[in-house]
Amino acid sequence: MTAIIQTIDTPDGPFTILADDEQRVLASGWTSDRDAILARLAPVRRPRTVTEGRTEAAEAAAAYYDGDLAAIDTVAVAQAGTALQVAGWAALRTIAPGAPLTYTGFAAALDNPRAVRAAAAICARNAPALFVPCHRVLRSDGSLGGFAWGLAVKESLLAREATAAAA
């Protein structure tokens, strides 16, 4: 498989997007380190060839940062995992900006309220960050919990979405 990689500047730092030849996002995150982006994918899912280029998803990410929070909602992604993971990643895309869920609430949304650890693992294994907004899931006490790209980025994203939702 051949993939395209693009890094854009955002208020939260460099944001890199890895997309396949169909422009589906395979992985993304707040770094300019191409190896860090590739490491988000299982070795079997890593593209053989990666070239720098333009991704359609970069336009959506820029629009998100310009205030159009819905711009990321229709960006195509390509994720492979267990049935629960795939369902979880789809469910993450339904969490409205400014209305985060707790891991407990996310597990309940998956019709498996006792699977809180599995819900957290789904978030941790989410490769196309931002486009599949795992940052919208918090610990049961409302604290941030973890985030592959750092808690400062997660906090910034949540604050941006809360402000926009309140407006």
CATH of the domain at 117: 1.10.10.10
Does 108 reside within a domain?
yes
35 within 8 A of 81, measured Cβ to Cβ? no
Biggest distance spanned by C-alpha atoms of the chain: 45
Range of the domain at 49: 2-72
Do both 63 and 95 map to the same domain? no
| Residues with active-site annotation | 134
Do both 88 and 152 map to the same domain? yes
Q: How far apart are CA 154 and CA 107, in angstroms?
A: 20
In total, how many domains does the chain have?
Answer: 2
Does 78 reside within a domain?
no
Summarize pLDDT for 37-89 with one digit per residue, the tens: 999 999 999 999 999 999 999 999 999 999 999 999 999 999 999 999 999 99
For residue 150 the two structure tokens come to 């750092």
Query: Radius of gyration over alpha carbons of the chain, in Å?
Result: 15
Q: What is the pTM of this model?
A: 0.95
